[in-house]
Amino acid sequence: MVVRVLAIETSCDETAAAVVDDGAHIRSNVVASQIDLHRRYGGVFPELASRAHLEAIAAVVDQAMREANASWPSLSAVAVTKGPGLPGSLVVGVNMAKGICLARSLPLIGVNHLEGHIYAHWLQPSGWAGSIVRRLEALGSPFPLLALIVSGGHTELVLMHDHGRHELLGHTVDDAVGEAFDKVARMLGLGYPGGPAIQQAAQAGDPHRFPFSRPRISLSPKTARVPHEALLFSFSGAKTHALHLIREHHGDANGKPTHRTPVNDIAASFQEAVTNWLVEKTVLAAEMHKVKAVLVGGGVSANQALRQKLTAQLGAAVSFPPLELCTDNAAMIAAAGYFAFMRGVRDDLSLDVAPDLKLGL
């Protein structure tokens, strides 16, 4: 019998719902993006995000059910992102999921958003041969696996020992890498979202013109939640360095670039530095734990420089799902929800949002 999960995701700025069978087959995957709403602020504006979720959520769930051609009685469970994320945004999805479970007597499963990014690799959308994980599974256990999650809100290295058994190996001590891309793009006047804009500008720039010095990060009780400082990340120094470069190279009185500022070279050098740091630490973690494969998720995994370097430098196999499954979506939450459901995980109507939820601690 098919195990069919309806999933809802509202942790940040995408209102998303999906119907997935057996944690693999995507029957529908609807994402309503708020990018245009937040563009003028150069980032996600939380108050606006939660209102936009509230306006969109019913129609998005309805569309996901219709596109899936799924009836309510055909559902086995409802999965929803409980955290981490913006509190006011998470609440909209969690309440919607609770309402559906109450009305339809369905089991409710709260999912960690980061676990969702990892489980995107278990999905088998048409047109994609499927992730390395499915091929490893066919040969036996795919574990241990290493996940690199890089987005506007996250920079994490997670070791996966088994389904539901995660260990946090690395995280950022300040900005997330996508946040750094967005902020540097804004300083350079390249627009929002910053990642694609920096990547494009970098194509016409010299990545070696401005060396960015490697951040020195040490374990302190405040910043570190992991055993090895070598696997910690920091991006705020790179951001400050980019600002200095603009000021030094014909920036105006407000530190804004002028037509004489080498915007493309700064973008290329910034991208070169941060992708190198991501790759070095991922390679180190993969070797330390002798993982069978590395699963990359989050919006920054769209970055071509990152993809090329990881593929070239990793000894282990590396998996990048199709882009629409790398960025925030509900199909990945359905996949994570399916595996939790099969392990017997159930939540009840007291499920609360967990904006600071961690994975693998």
Binds 337, which of ligand KG4, Zn ion, none (CB < 5 to 8 A, cut-off by type)? none
Tokens 């734990």 belong to residue: 289
| Backbone conformation region of residue 239, classed left if phi is above 0, alpha if psi is from -120 to 50, else beta | alpha
- HSE at residue 142, side-chain half, CA atoms within 13 A, is 23
116 binds, among Zn ion, ligand KG4, none (CB under 5 to 8 A by kind): none
Least separation in angstroms between residue 151's CB and Zn ion is 4
**Is there binding between residue 328 and Zn ion (CB under 5 A)?**
yes
Please name the amino acid found at residue 148: L
Q: Which of 81, 89, 199, 282 is the binder for ligand KG4 (CB under 6 A)?
A: 199
Per-residue x/- track, 140-179, ligand KG4 (CB under 6 A): -----------xxx------------------------x-
* Interacting residues with ligand KG4 between 12 and 31 (CB under 6 A): 12
Contact flag: residue 34 with ligand KG4 (CB under 6 A): no
What are 81's strand-pairing partners? 111
151 is an interface residue for Zn ion by CB under 5 A: yes
Count of residues near Zn ion by CB under 5 A: 2
Q: Which of 84, 205, 237, 298 binds ligand KG4 (CB under 6 A)?
A: 298
Q: How far is the CB of 149 from Zn ion (least distance, A)?
A: 7
- Cβ atoms of 320 and 6 closer than 8 Å: no
Structure letter (DSSP) for residue 316: S
Helix (H, G, I), strand (E, B) or coil at 227: coil
Distance of closest approach, residue 141 Cβ to Zn ion, in angstroms: 27
Residues 285-314 that bind Zn ion (CB under 5 A): none
Residues 314-333 binding ligand KG4 (CB under 6 A) are 327-328
Nearer to Zn ion, 82 or 292 (CB): 82
Residue 172 near Zn ion by CB under 5 A: no
Could you list the beta-strand ranges (E) of 191-270.
none
Cα separation values, 320 from 84, 259, 278, 306, 339, Å:
22, 37, 15, 11, 20
**Closest to 182 (Cα-Cα) out of 153, 216, 148, 157:** 153
* Helices and strands, counts by H and E, the chain: 12, 10
What's 233's DSSP letter?
B
Q: Does the bond joining 144 to the residue before it have cis omega, within 30 degrees of 0?
A: yes
Q: Which residues bind ligand KG4 (CB under 6 A)?
A: 12, 151-153, 178, 181-182, 193-196, 199, 298-300, 302-303, 327-328
Q: Which residues bind Zn ion (CB under 5 A)?
A: 151, 328
